Amino acid sequence: MLDIKNWSIEWGGRTLSIETGRFALQANATCTVRYGDTVIMATIVQSDSVREGIDYFPLMVDFEEKLYAAGKIKGSRFIKREGRPTDEAILSGRVIDRAIRPLFDERVRNDVQVVITALSVDGENDAAIVGLVAASCVVHMSAVPWGGPIGAARIGRVNGEFILNITSDKLGESDLDLVVAGTPEKLVMVEAGAKEVKEDDMFEAIKWGCEQLKPLIDLIERVRAEAGVEKLALPDFANDLGLIEDNVEEKVRKISQEFVASVSDTMIFDSIKVSKKERKEMIDKIKEALKVHLVEKGFEEDTHNAGLKNLKEYIAFEITKRILERDQRLDGRKLTEIRELQSSIDLLPRTHGSAMFMRGDTQVLSIATLGAPGDVQTLDTMEEDGTKRYMHHYNDAPYTYGEAGFMRGPGRRAIGHGALAERALEPVLPSVEDFPYTIRVVSEVLGSNGSSSMASTCGSSMTLMAAGVPIKKSVAGIAMGLASDESGNWKILTDLQDIEDGKGGMDFKIAGTRDGITALQMDTKTQGLNWDLVKKTISQAYDARLEILSVMENTIAEPQAMSKYAPRIETIIIDPEKIRDVIGPGGKVINKIIDDTGVQIDIEQDGRVMITSNDGEGMAKARKIIEELTKEVMAGEEYDGEVVRIMDFGAFVQVLPGKDGMVHVSEIAWERVEKPGDVLKIGQKVRVKVKEIDDMGRINLSMKALLPQPEGYMPPAPRPPRTGGSGSGGRSGGFKKPFNKNRR
């Protein structure tokens, strides 16, 4: 029998309910969370065995996006089941991972896997937020040691008012899209996109969001009290991991840490180490000295790894200690000082735009490509439909870190970094009406040592300007770090780099313009940040951002002319009723224009026709064809037409593509013409004038109106009426009888 239990609260104007005992009973713990009609299942499983030879906590967090949850079937004709995770699923998984990971005990070496599965989504309540709530609940219910629970919420702001768990339909009105995770007392994770929100307003939004989490946290505590299991005690857990005091490996670790502390002055802070290469050489020297020290202490070589694998952690501890005690950084910088900045543009001859941004050892080359409106990315995910016109892709490689390794394409980290920089630039992009191009920026990370994502933001801003994209303002980003200890002491670090990002640290990335924040993201290696720390970080980051913007603006301050290699787009506004004339049956007309001119054509429902081409001649030809296809013929206009049909009573002349008019036999010449075929033939080019458009929309033309009237001209005698036929009767000069509609 199923032992189903339910709990619920009213939160943010909707019911949030948690259920246990119905699904996935083989997992160590399971729950489902429902908010609106969005239902997310979370499971946690901890392996029974310890993974040997690793120096990190092996946590896996996966967000499973299911199309059935949204009532969709995959758009591909050949593959209908879900494949590799979409970027959206990866980003949702990363948000959840960054929120729950800091609260685990990092000494754990058992595999722990948290799987969040979307069972139903309503398109209004964000599945990632519901998934984070479910993850917090299921981990707290389980036996795995954890410092939670935490809550999570999405905050918007409309007309200056904060909105808890803003729905997707209201998000377009909001100048803020903020995700917070933590408690009312501390911030554990934050991520946001914003339309130049002021620093003070952003801080208030983050704090307000966390204050709204108390009812949710109380609910999760109730669930654990009634359906959870007893947590494994950390001492027992340590015994299971072989971490007891009498264990040889623990002794090696202790002696190794004491050794690193003893050489802090002579091997770590003996000199200023500016480059990553210098710091790597320092670590290698300490490693060799530690090996000798362990041998002298009587430890066998096969036990050394217990200390060696944690060497960077011990060095980072000494660096943190020195920062807290003396404000001393390893590279000699002040706590608020940025590393050397370099930037340049137009480095590549044939790309549409390029820029290089370098901060210390971190170097990023960003390249912009402009495409036609039809080059947009089609979105077909569980929660997203439609198109995307601006894309930022982040690439790194083993050489980026001075290493050799396999090239497997972008991983979760690269996708996350690319999305962050993309979000930072979105608020300053021109509207599609002002700049109809599809825009792709690729950031190639050529060297990484501290926040390549923020360097990508800076590089993207400059390359967009170099490509001629009229962005509203320059955008820069900076990563802020933290040195803290268990006694509650802390110092904020501007421009975080590799070896400063240790235990007790944070990586708080903040991007924006001179006028406000456009994106931020934070994860931490602490149990959470207090509000004084958060406020100081945001303020200190603003000063750094202004300094970086000044360097960027010295390189390029405003958009320059577009590259001659970039395509040009001309926009024609036509009557929406004429769209079908341009497309033609089955796309026959538009495809012929494309084939004949080599352009790309995109048509919007409001009548905007956008022609994209690198060939000016082809663009002009296509424009002329479209204008002719959609032009309204007016009385009095003159055209060079082509005879397309000859009848007894006159000739039909094509004046525009798809538009014919009739020249009555009496309008061909001033002199009498017995039969149109006597003077005209199919395919003949003739000059005609529009006499009138009758009330049925038929075009009546004249050739003789463009010819000089002969001197002494006398109208020809009336034609005799036709006999024995069903025609419309003859016509003579000076007399006009409406022609039979059926003859057209």
Please write the tens of the pLDDT for every residue from 541-577. 999 999 999 999 999 999 999 999 999 999 999 989 8
Instruction: Say whether 507 counts as a known binding-site residue.
Output: yes
8 Å CB contact between 457 and 424: yes
**According to the model, what pLDDT value does residue 534 have?**
97
Neighbouring residues of 198: CB distance < 8 A, sequence distance ≥ 6: 515, 516, 517
pLDDT, residue 383, reads 79
Q: Looking at the domain covering 638-743, what would its CATH class be?
A: mainly beta
Whether pLDDT at 51 is above 90: no
Q: Residue 126 pLDDT more than 70?
A: yes
Give residue 234's pLDDT: 60
- Which of 704, 697, 680 minimizes the C-alpha distance to 744? 697
Taking the CA atoms of 305, 307, 313 and 319 in sequence, report the sign of the dihedral they define: negative
Strands 377-380 and 385-388, bridge-based pairing? antiparallel
Asked if residue 726 lies in contact with residue 709, where contact means CB atoms within 8 angstroms, the answer is no
Please give the Cα distance from 336 to 22 (Å, whole number).
53
What is the fold of 5-235?
Ribosomal Protein S5; domain 2 (3.30.230)
- The topology (CATH level 3) of 568-630 is Ribosomal Protein S8; Chain: A, domain 1 (3.30.1370)
pLDDT above 60: residue 725: no
User: Worst-scoring range by mean pLDDT, 52-56, 258-262, 353-357?
Assistant: 52-56
Residue 563 confidence (pLDDT): 93
Beta-carbon contacts of residue 457 (< 8 Å; ≥ 6 apart): 420, 421, 424, 425, 475, 476, 477, 511, 519
State percent of the chain over pLDDT 90: 69
Most confident of 134-138, 238-242, 281-285, 401-405: 134-138
Read off the pLDDT of residues 230-281 as tens digits, 9 standing for 90 and up. 998 764 444 444 444 457 878 888 999 999 999 999 999 999 998 888 889 9
Mean pLDDT of 596-624: 91
pLDDT higher for 711 or 422?
422
pLDDT of residue 77: 80
| pTM score | 0.85
Contact between residue 676 and residue 643 where contact means Cβ atoms under 8 Å apart:
no
Q: What's 529's DSSP letter?
A: B
| Cα distance between residue 490 and residue 510, in whole Å | 19
How far, in whole angstroms, is CA 531 from its chain's centroid?
29
Domain definitions of the chain by residue range: 5-235, 245-326, 341-555, 568-630, 638-743
Task: For tokens 């005879």, name the residue.
Answer: 643
pLDDT for residue 508 is more than 60: yes
Q: How far apart are CA 505 and CA 148, in angstroms?
A: 19
Specify which of 206-210, 494-498, 670-674 reaches the highest per-range mean pLDDT: 206-210
Percent of the chain with pLDDT over 70: 95
Question: What ranges make up the beta strands (E) of 299-350?
Answer: 341-345
**pLDDT confidence tier of residue 721, bands split at 50, 70 and 90:** low
Strand partners, 32: 19, 41
Residue 737's pLDDT band, with cuts at 50, 70 and 90, is: very low
- Is pLDDT above 60 for 354? yes
- 609-631 average pLDDT score: 90
Which residue, among 539, 553, 550, 552, has the nearest Cα to 510 in the 3D structure?
A: 539
Whether the per-residue pLDDT at 724 is higher than 60: the answer is no
pLDDT exceeds 90 at position 727? no
- pLDDT exceeds 60 at position 731: no
What pLDDT is recorded for position 100? 97
pLDDT at 239: 47
DSSP three-state, residue 638: strand
Fold of 341-555: Ribosomal Protein S5; domain 2 (3.30.230)
Host H or E run for residue 292: helix 276-296
When mean pLDDT is compared across 292-296, 436-440, 481-485, the lowest value belongs to: 292-296
Q: What share of the chain is helix, strand, coil (3-state, %, to 5)?
A: 35, 30, 35
Q: Which residues contact residue 733 at a Cβ distance below 8 angstroms, ignoring those fewer than 6 apart?
A: 666, 670, 672, 715, 716
pLDDT at 540: 97
For residue 222, pLDDT over 90 is answered with yes
pLDDT tops 50 at residue 730: no
**What average pLDDT does range 38-48 have in this prediction?**
95
Lowest mean per-residue pLDDT among 118-122, 347-351, 419-423, 637-641: 637-641
Q: Which residues share a beta bridge with 447?
A: 363
What pLDDT is stored for residue 538 in this prediction?
A: 97
Q: Tell me if 568-630 shares its fold with 638-743.
A: no
Could you give the CA distance from residue 644 to residue 654 in angstroms, rounded to a whole number? 6
The rounded distance, in Å, linking the Cα atoms of 32 and 23 is: 8
Average pLDDT over residues 665-689: 91
d(Cα 277, Cα 573) in Å, to the nearest integer? 58
According to the model, what pLDDT value does residue 408 have? 83
Cα(451)–Cα(417) distance, rounded to whole angstroms? 9
Name the average pLDDT for the chain. 90
Determine the average pLDDT of the residues in 520-534.
95
* E strands present in 614-684: 638-646, 650-656, 659-664
| 8 Å CB contact between 609 and 571 | yes
